[in-house]
Structure 1
Amino acid sequence: MKDIVLYDQNCRFCKATKRLFEKLDWMHVIEWKPLQESENTRFTQEELMREIHLITPSGDVKKGFFAIRRMLVRFPLTGLIGLIMYLPFLKPAGRFGYSVVADNRTCDIRKKKQEQT
């Protein structure tokens, strides 16, 4: 069974990340779905825009750093890096690093939302 990853198809950075991860996904363990086409009502649009969401086959949800970490563990080439990211002392740094990148990505929809507020 595949993990499902919801990503922002209007964000160049998100699409580039998806392309990179697809190249690493030799075993085809990830199914990518644009959040704009998601019929999943478990999350608000704001939650989905804030960070990447990964849904495991059992229904567990991983967001942001934890989604990236799970994907890296599942790819043969990055499995060791993913495992290292499970070390407890790396969790705060990983969450911080992810938030810095996510907060500074430039997406048309995010810009429009900020302009409206």
Structure 2
Amino acid sequence: MKDIVLYDQNCRFCKATKRVFERLDWMHVIDWRPLQEAVDIGFSQEELMREIHLITPDGSAKKGFFAIRRMLLRFPLTGLIGLIMYLPFLKPAGRFGYSVVADNRTCDIRKKK
């Protein structure tokens, strides 16, 4: 079963990130969907615009750093990096790093707070 990743199709940075991850997804384990087309998924558009969301086959959701970490773990080329990101002391740094990148991406719609 595939994970579903919701991304902002209006953001150049998000689309570039998607292209990089698609190149790493040799096993085709991710199904990318624009968040603008997402309906009845339990998240507001504001939540979706704030950070990337990944929905696992069992219906659980991972957001931001945790979504990126899961994707990296599932790709053959980056699996070790993903595994290292599960070390407990890396969680705060990963969350901080993700928030810095997410807060500084240039998506005009997202900046409305």
Aligned partners of 2:52, 2:40: CA distance in 1, in Å? Answer: 14
CA contact (8 A) 1:73 1:81 kept: yes
Q: Do 1:29 and 1:74's aligned partners in 2 also have CA atoms closer than 8 Å? A: yes
Question: Where in structure 1 do 4 or more consecutive aligned residues deviate above 4 Å?
Answer: none
Name the counterpart of 1:100: 100
Letter in 2 for 1:26: W
Structure 1: distance between partners of 2:48 and 2:110: 11
Shift, 1:85, TM fit: 0.1
Aligned residue runs from structure 1 range 34-113, under 5 A: 34-111=34-111, 113=112
Matched residues in 2 for 1:4 and 1:40: separation?
Answer: 14
Which residue in the other structure is 2:11 paired with? Answer: 11
CA distance in 2 between counterparts of 1:43 and 1:32 reads: 17
1:40-98 alpha-carbon deviations (Å, 9 max, x no partner): 34001110000000000000100000000000000000000000000000000000000
How many angstroms does 1:39 deviate by? Answer: 1.2
* Counterpart Cα distance in 2 of 1:93 and 1:45: 26
TM-score normalised by the chain length of structure 1: 0.94
Secondary structure at the aligned position of 1:57 is classed as coil
For structure 1, the 5+ residue unaligned runs are: none
> How far apart, CA to CA, are the structure 2 residues paired with 1:40 and 1:89?
35
Task: Provide structure 2 residue ranges, at least 5 long, that are not aligned to the other structure.
Answer: none
Aligned residue pairs: how many? 113
Larger-gyration structure (1/2) = 1
1:19-41 alpha-carbon deviations (Å, 9 max, x no partner): 00000000000000000011134
Please tell me the root mean square deviation across aligned C-alpha atoms, in Å: 0.9
Q: CA deviation at 1:109?
A: 1.5
Output the CA distance in 1 between the equivalents of 2:79 and 2:12: 26
